[in-house]
Amino acid sequence: MHIDQSARISIALDILNSAPKADLQHYRTKVFQTFRRLQNLSIIINRNESSPVRDDYAVSTSFTSHTSSPENDNTLHTSSLRETYPPPSKSGDDLPAGTQRAALLKALEKNREKIEEYLEQPEEEATAAKPTLDEEDYRIVDFIRGGGSSPTYQDKFRKLLGERDLAKEFKEWEFKTYEASRVDSLVQNQADKAPHGNVMEFVEEHDQFVNKEMARRCVRNGIKLLVIEALLKKYLQDLEDPITRDAVLVEEPERRDTECVEDKSSGISALLAFTSSLVRRMKYEEIADFIELLNHPRFSALLGLARRKSDWFDECQRLYTGKYRRNRSELKAHSFRGPKPKKAPNKEHQRANLLFQGIQKETLQVHQFISTD
């Protein structure tokens, strides 16, 4: 049976109106996003504004009361919502102080223009690097260079591309070897404290890693990036339900012929390339909160940049991986020299050999003389 849009909205509002508080708390992210959208569409009106308010459309933005207003049974009070998701603040006081996720968001916000400038380059330029025939794995070379004392933006970006590429290779190896995935388990449970034994086994099994410890760190950094991307993708998919899509089309009708749920999450790693130390220090348990804060209206420019540059970033990764494969082939060709040539004896060895041969000759002559007698 087909249900028209008006009926669906009415059903959704009835469910929301009768839902227990505990259920609303469980979906607090969606509730907050809906609340902010209704405010932007002027469907929710602040009672503090001077404009007249119709009771049947008003939702109180007072954050002090937990009970219904006797004058208006339709009023929704949002105190619990305010505790978890405060409105945007110009001073940034709404961010949880002393946390790595807050420090990371502030760093991204502060450097957004410089980051965006780098991400506007053509993909070939963004991933360019001088060729090297270092015996170390190319990705580890980039990892060490990008983590040095004064890396350029290009060094940092290539470091991240190497981390992602190596983490993806590890994920494939782990699934083939154990039919398991460390990345997938962390996406399901960020509090998973299982040891990283498989990472070390992967590193030891591959001879191209000269510096095993750096290779291990590179893989672990890449794993965290893949987890962040997967959780952001899931978060965005949860938000982009049919009702939200219809609301989006009211403001952005040009998106009518496009898929609403798109894989536009990889671009977040493009931004994180330039704040790698803060990403490394952020615990897995903080990632979900980081993503929720990233979806706060204050950071809409950051999230928009990440989604807009996802296709660009995917192409950068493809180019980087292709260059790495070619570099490995060149390295193997360069390192193959065939059988080692015999070393020429030095002069001391030559004199010793001649002396020994002379003694042997004289000894043979003496034996021959004795035998003739």
Listing DSSP states for 310-371 in one string gives HHHHHHHHHHHHHHHHHHHHHHHHHH---SPPPPPP-HHHHHHHHHHHHHHHHHHHHHHHHH
Residues near 109 by beta carbon (within 8 Å), at least 6 away in sequence = 299, 302
Q: How far is CA 112 from CA 105, 122, 152, in A?
A: 10, 18, 16
Q: Map tokens 């009518």 to a residue.
A: 256
Model confidence pLDDT, tens digit, residues 315-368 = 999 999 998 777 666 656 655 444 444 445 555 555 655 555 665 565 555 455
Q: How far is CA 254 from CA 108, 200, 263, in A?
A: 29, 49, 19
* Backbone dihedral angles phi then psi of residue 323, each to the nearest 5 degrees: -65, -35
pLDDT of 46 > 90? The answer is: no
- Structure confidence at residue 48 (pLDDT): 43
Listing DSSP states for 102-128 in one string gives HHHHHHHHHTHHHHHHHHTS-HHHHT-
Model confidence pLDDT, tens digit, residues 274-322 = 999 999 999 999 999 999 999 999 999 999 999 999 999 999 999 999 9
Model confidence pLDDT, tens digit, residues 196-206 = 789 999 999 99
Distance CA 86, CA 97 (A): 14
Higher pLDDT, 44 or 229: 229
- Structure confidence at residue 334 (pLDDT): 54
pLDDT of 82 > 50? The answer is: no
C-alpha angle 44-261-78 in degrees, rounded to nearest 5: 25
- Structure confidence at residue 194 (pLDDT): 82
Mean of pLDDT values over 25-52:
57
Model confidence pLDDT, tens digit, residues 98-128 = 899 999 999 999 999 999 999 999 999 999 9
> Where are the alpha helices (H) located in 206-309, listed in sequence order?
212-239, 242-251, 267-272, 276-281, 287-294, 300-308
